[in-house]
Amino acid sequence: MKVSAVTLRRVLCVFVLLACVGCGTVNTTLRGDHYVSSSLRKHESACGSLPRVYSGVGYDLCRLNAAAPNDLVWPVFLLPVMAVDLVLSGAADTLVLPYTAVRQYRDGSITL
């Protein structure tokens, strides 16, 4: 079964769009502090605050530290997705580091 280059590009575009929507960096830098804190509270995260520098990675780690849905163990298929998101968030956090460093100095950490 051959897969065309167009199909691979479409799948890659869908994956990139989904990764950007769920990316911790996008959630913490482009959305307000209220969204971040309510999102982590909704998932019952054990984190108390989230520093703005490398906040995308921190957000993802807080999500991993949250209670699993319906008190079950994290589904195995979500762990590779979270690993990819951690890597992408780390790269994106490095790109926005000048912005988040100024925000950390000016506003402090995001309290949850």
With CA atoms as reference, report the closest residue to 24 among 79, 51, 61.
61
Written as tens digits, the pLDDT of the chain (112 aa) is 676 777 767 766 666 655 555 588 988 998 889 999 998 888 888 888 999 999 999 998 888 887 666 555 556 667 787 788 888 889 999 999 999 999 999 999 999 8
Q: How far apart are CA 40 and CA 57, in angstroms?
A: 14
Model pLDDT, residue 94: 92
Q: What is the pLDDT of residue 20?
A: 54
**CA 89 – CA 60 distance, rounded (Å):** 8
**Rounded distance between C-alpha atoms, residue 89 and residue 29, angstroms:** 11
Rounded Cα gap, residues 62 and 83, in angstroms: 13
- DSSP three-state, residue 52: coil
Q: Can you give the pLDDT at residue 97?
A: 94
> Taking the domains of the chain in order of start, what are their residue ranges?
22-111
Q: Can you give the pTM of this predicted structure?
A: 0.74
Rg of the chain's alpha carbons, rounded to an integer?
16
- The answer to whether 91 touches 25, Cβ cutoff 8 Å, is no
